[in-house]
């Protein structure tokens, strides 16, 4: 582990591991994030969540053509070109997986269209393991455009998917000693992001919160919406879209900082 000081904060970094991670990423890249929520199969009779399934209802994508575009001043302009698709279905309870597939397909096709249009070579996610598994399954069994299937299958077959949190979350790769609570306890992505990125004036201009809602807020509201058949506030869709865009920008800032750290070597 090598020691640096960023924003007057001591940080320990395994530069070798981070460099190997970054060297595998090929540009252009798409940084994206999903939002998901649970849907009760049996309205008001099943609150065990054992038979629930997740549906994707919002996705945000940011295209970065070269790593130099991750600089704060350029990201400030890039954030105006974020792709977002948000859709919340009518208050109905999905009865089977076939209905789920139809709903998910809208979002997968939206993502796929961007991957192909911009000749994306790497997909960067933010701890979205469940969504990636759903996406791979969808691509394997439900894509209906043969001319695109081979391209997408090739893309995913060669593991061009990178989870930033695999690097960011792990203290043996990136550690803030001041906030270390115990020998075997990681600090966590939220605190690292806040201390290393949001305390930096350049990044704060990019990451000014566009929504005060958290993931838990969104999930709780959606679950209640389907459970009690409540109406959502008219602004809810916009708040979800803004939340998702902000998450993607945070991912971009994390990636930018990692490249900056490697360049300091």
Which residues contact residue 201 at a Cβ distance below 8 angstroms, ignoring those fewer than 6 apart?
none
Sites in the chain below the pLDDT cut of 50: 49
What is the rounded CA–CA span in Å between residue 52 and residue 38? 6
Token pair belonging to 219: 């999930």
Give 3-state DSSP helix, strand, coil % of the chain, rounded to 5: 50, 20, 30
In sequence order, what are the beta bridge partners of 61?
32, 83
Sign, CA dihedral 157-52-248-252, equals negative
Q: CA of 65: how far to CAs of 70, 109, 119, 148, in Å?
A: 9, 21, 10, 21
First to last CA, the chain: 12
Please report the pLDDT score of residue 148 as a whole number: 66
Q: What is the pTM of this model?
A: 0.85
Half-sphere exposure in the Cβ direction for 74 (13 Å, CA) = 12
User: Which residues face 59 on adjacent strands?
Assistant: 34, 85
Using CB atoms within 10 A of its CB, is residue 232 exposed (0-12), middle (13-18) or buried (19+)? Answer: middle
CB-based contact 30:61 (threshold 8 Å): yes
pLDDT (tens digit per residue) in 195-229: 888 778 888 888 776 777 888 888 888 878 777 77
Given a contact cutoff of 8 angstroms between Cβ atoms, the answer to whether 198 and 207 are in contact is yes
């Amino acid at each position: 582990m090598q020691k640096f000081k960023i924003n007057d904060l001591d940080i320990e970094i395994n530069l070798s591991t981070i460099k190997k991670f970054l060297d595998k990423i090929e540009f252009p890249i798409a940084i994206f994030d999903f939002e998901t929520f649970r849907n009760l199969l049996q309205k008001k009779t099943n609150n065990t969540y054992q038979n629930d399934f997740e549906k994707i209802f919002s996705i945000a994508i940011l295209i970065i053509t070269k790593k130099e575009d991750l600089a704060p001043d350029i990201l400030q302009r890039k954030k105006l070109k974020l792709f977002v698709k948000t859709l919340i279905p009518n208050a109905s309870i999905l009865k089977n997986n076939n209905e789920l597939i139809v709903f998910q397909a809208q979002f997968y096709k939206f993502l796929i269209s961007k991957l192909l249009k911009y000749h994306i070579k790497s997909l960067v996610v933010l701890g979205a393991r469940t969504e990636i598994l759903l996406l791979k399954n969808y691509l394997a069994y439900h894509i209906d455009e043969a001319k695109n299937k081979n391209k997408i299958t090739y893309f995913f077959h060669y593991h061009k998917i990178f989870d930033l949190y695999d690097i960011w979350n792990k203290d043996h790769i990136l550690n803030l000693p001041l906030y270390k609570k115990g020998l075997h306890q990681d600090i966590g992505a939220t605190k690292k992001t806040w201390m290393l990125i949001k305390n930096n004036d350049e990044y704060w201009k990019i990451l000014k919160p566009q929504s005060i809602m958290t993931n838990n807020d969104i999930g709780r509201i959606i679950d209640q919406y389907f459970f009690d058949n409540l109406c959502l506030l008219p602004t809810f869709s916009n708040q979800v879209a803004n939340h998702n865009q902000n998450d993607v920008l945070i991912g971009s800032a994390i990636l930018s900082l990692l490249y900056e750290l490697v360049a300091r070597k």
